Each structure stands twice: as C-alpha cells, then as structure tokens.
A and B are shown apart, each in its own frame.
Chain A
C-alpha cells in the first residue's frame, strides 16, 4: 500500500480536461514539494512536473500541477491519445516512511 494515495484509474476523451489527485500527509506533501512522473507503456518514467507546478523543458503546457495542504493535483488539458500512460506522484517524506514516497499510480485511458 502506497503512502501517497492516487485513484487507480482515470479517463477522458480527446480534447477534454482531466485531473488526477494525490493525497498525502503533513510529513510529505504537507511540508515538501510534489513531483509527477509519466510512464508510457513499456518505458521508463519521465519527469512531468517538479516543485509542485514547474514543467521541465519540453513538457507541453497542457500539463500543470498544483498543491494545497496535504494534497496535490495534476491537470491535463486538451487530452491527446499519446497522453495514455501511468502517472505517479512523489514527494520527500520527513517521517520513517521516507525518504521518498510514491503514489500507487493512476492509469489514464484516452477513450
């Protein structure tokens, strides 16, 4: 069971906006920044969002992140078929759970 809680699945049609939530606690999301990773089928994870809402170079601005308290969200606007992937949130954890904790992953299906 993962320390950070994500919905196991999400879906949307092309062009739609979808959000994926990530719930944690005061020792992780509540006191540290959140990162999001995208894992396309059969490939290694790729950094999508860091420091809650920062996009690495090359990541489309259709992807955005936010954080409030002990929860975070990833939003994808203008959904595209190539966005179909697994998405993981992660954060440093200051408690014995740490040092780094991941969510269980959300499988995004583009219908």
Chain B
C-alpha cells in the first residue's frame, strides 16, 4: 500500500523560500517507472500542477513557476523535497504530493495522493 505525507511550515512570510517534504512508503524512487509530483490548490480554487521527479532524476516543472521551483529526491529517506522561492500571498494554498505510476507522458496520471499541507503566506 502506497502512502504519501506532506510536511512543512504552515506560515511563511512574503519573499521567503518555502521547503516542503513528501515522505512516502510502499514505493521506491529507485524503481524504474516511478515518479512523485506536487500539485497545489488555493482556497476555493482549482488544482494547479507544480512539478514531478522520476526514478531516473528526470524533472519537469510548471512553465509559469519554473524559475521559482526546485524538486529533488532522497531515495534513502523515501522523500521528495520541493522548494519554492520568493513566496507571495497568492501562493497561499494546500500543497499535495502524489505518486505517478508511469513515465509514459501521454499516459500520465496520479494514482495516490497525500492528504495535503496548508501553507499561508503572510507578513
């Protein structure tokens, strides 16, 4: 059974850097074909894709946020870390990580999600 759990600060100040950690079990990011992604959802709004990292360290980012995002993995700790620089109040959202069971992009989907962590950006 795959589980994922997001962790990080609940409150950050504008211009600060946000660091979120996704800790998972039941999967290994050293296994061929596996990926972990990040998605966020501002209060009352739609889901927004952020980034994905695959077992082979291939990374993809949202074009609109690419300059601010960095995704890394620590296979030994079963963790994926997302950093977002220069935080702004519009970045206030619930941030989710999710498991991607395929590297075939045209078949891309997220089959298991974490419960999410809420981040508020305010001074």
Contact = CB atoms under 8 A, between A and B. Distances in A.
A45 B108 contact: no
Interface stretch (A9-17, A18-26, A74-82, A94-102): A94-102
Interface residues of B, number: 23
Given A45-B113, A46-B113, A98-B63, A32 B108 contact: yes
Interface string A28-50: 00011101010000011111001
A56 interface: yes
Given A32-B105, A47-B111, A37 B47 contact: yes
Interface string B28-42: 000000000101000
Interface of B: 37, 39, 46-49, 52, 60, 62-63, 96, 105-116
27 contacts: A2-B46, A32-B105, A33-B108, A35-B110, A37-B47, A37-B110, A44-B113, A44-B115, A44-B116, A45-B39, A47-B113, A51-B107, A88-B46, A90-B49, A92-B106, A99-B49, A99-B52, A99-B60, A99-B108, A100-B37, A100-B49, A100-B62, A101-B49, A102-B46, A102-B48, A103-B46, A105-B47
Q: Top 7 nearest A-B pairs by Cβ distance?
A: A100-B49, A35-B109, A50-B109, A32-B106, A92-B108, A44-B113, A99-B60
